[in-house]
Amino acid sequence: MLDQQKKIVQSTLPALKVHGEEITRYFYQEMLGAHPELRSMFNASDQADGTQAKRLAGAILAYAGNIDRLDLLGSAVNQIARSHVRVHVQADQYPIVGKYLLLAIKAVLGDAATPEVIEAWGAAYAQLADILIPMEKGMYAAAAAD
């Protein structure tokens, strides 16, 4: 991820603080509408009462705020990976999530989500996927060995 892209992601922090939950609610609505097979990966009551959207919005905000200091997010990233393994997230599902996350950012932020902002967030998401996928692969391998 380029330094300029990190700066762009960080520049979206004020908008994320205001619109984060709206973005994540839109994200889940659109993604699960298009991919109902993913519904079983999420707690239905957390989806219904907004807890899941709130939790994801907080994680996105933390990631954006620490995009240039990812070492500070180590335990949170590890917890996310463990949660993903628990519900059997697979590497080929990451592009689906990325597509709908960027769609939600664009839909909610409108003109503020310039092509540069969407590109930077695409790079940020790819960076996180590049961290989580191998971590989860190792967890799956360790579980299979047990």
136 catalytic per annotation: yes
Catalytic-role residue among 21, 63, 100, 136:
136
Q: Verify whether residue 94 is a known catalytic residue.
A: yes
Catalytic one of 26, 63, 94, 125 = 94
Look at residues 92, 105, 87, 117 and name the one whose alpha carbon lies nearest to residue 6. Answer: 117
* Cα 71 from Cα 84, distance rounded (Å): 20
CA dihedral sign, ordered 84, 85, 88, 92: positive
Can you list the alpha helix ranges (DSSP code H) found in 1-146? 3-11, 13-34, 44-49, 51-65, 74-86, 94-109, 115-145
Enzyme catalytic residues: 94, 136
